[in-house]
Amino acid sequence: MNNLRVVVWGLGQHSLNKILPALVDTPGLEMYGVCSRNKDVVASTANKFRCKGWLDPRVMLFDDNIDVVYLSTPIGLHFTHGKMILLSGKHLWCEKPLVSRLEDACTLTDLALAKSLKIAEGYMFKYHPHFQQFLQFCKQGYIGPIRSATFRFGIPPLANPGFRTDPALGGGAFLDVGCYPVAAALEVFAGTPYSLRYSDITMKQGVPVDTSGRAVIEFSNGAEANLEWGINCSYRNEIDVWGEFGGIYSEMIFSKPPDYQPYFIMSDQNGRKTKVFSVAENHFKIMLEHFRCLTLDATGATDELAKIRDRAKLIELIKVAASV
């Protein structure tokens, strides 16, 4: 398989600090270029990585040498930008969530299928051995049938929140951090029919975007998922699963530095606890390796499109039920 030539569109702190370093360190990918409206950032980044740089995405998309565009612009622009990328004949790898509306997710995934292109959504935690090991513990029956699972992700105030405070650009707690518990719940209970029992998305007076929320999902097998999220709050980043014969708890499940060694607290039926370690990895690099493989895996790529629509469906259900 030849190297895929990748352009990163959007040069905020996340892409500069996390995506670009992982991309250049991933075998089979070539850092072909970067695109942003910020002239100084484009110049310095292109010089640092010895790649091309564009200020105008329309000009960038005319370059037929590009195989993939990694989209890291604000969430509220993903649909318009993503459509431009697909119409130009490039694969689309996009920061989570791909879009904020189910209708838009269906439009992009249908367009990708029609043009034989691939879309992948950047939920990096899914690919880390930490989360994969967690899924195996659940599937192997160590804790028996799951009674309930709690997914929490909350972050303290950011020094430079950027678009996250602008509702027109997709800012707010739900789309920024609440989408992680949504994605995790759908992975843990994959393929199990569900109904949304409760959702709430909270806005504080004087704040232009939502700041916290929670949702309760009831699955057809009797299990329940509790999702909680927030911004400008104390830090939480954890999963806690209660089964008939035991439990599994782990922190740092959604986001972690590459050198962090994750661990699980495993409880048996009598409450005795055992600590089980996982391995340290760069989940952005593993994610990009997976995305690269999808370009040659038609079945895997189709499955990813279905999961994108499933996540968009639950995100929309939660928003509508909360009247947001």
**pLDDT tens, position by position, 27-65:** 999 999 999 999 999 999 999 999 999 999 999 999 999
Return the HEC string of 213-274. Answer: EEEEEEECCCCEEEEEEEECCCCEEEEEEEECCCEEEEECCCCCCCCCCCEEEEECCCCCEE
Q: What is the pLDDT of residue 161?
A: 86
Contact 113, 303 (CB under 8 A): no
Question: Can you give the pLDDT at residue 141?
Answer: 82
Which band of pLDDT confidence, cut at 50, 70 and 90, is reported for residue 324?
Answer: low
Residue 1 has what pLDDT? 62
Higher-pLDDT residue of 204, 87: 87
* Structure confidence by residue, pLDDT tens digits, 94-138: 999 999 999 999 999 999 999 999 999 999 999 999 999 999 999
Model confidence at 206: pLDDT above 90: no
Can you give the pLDDT at residue 308? 98
Average pLDDT across the chain, whole number: 96
Q: What is the pTM of this model?
A: 0.96
Position 205 scores a pLDDT of 84
Which pLDDT value is given to residue 169? 92
Sign of the Cα torsion 26, 76, 225, 269 reads positive
* Range of weakest confidence among 163-172, 224-233, 243-252: 163-172
What's the whole-number mean pLDDT along residues 141-153? 95
Contact 246/142 with Cβ under 8 angstroms? Answer: yes
The yes-or-no verdict on residue 284 having pLDDT over 90 is yes
Q: How confident is the model at residue 173 (pLDDT cuts 50, 70, 90)?
A: very high
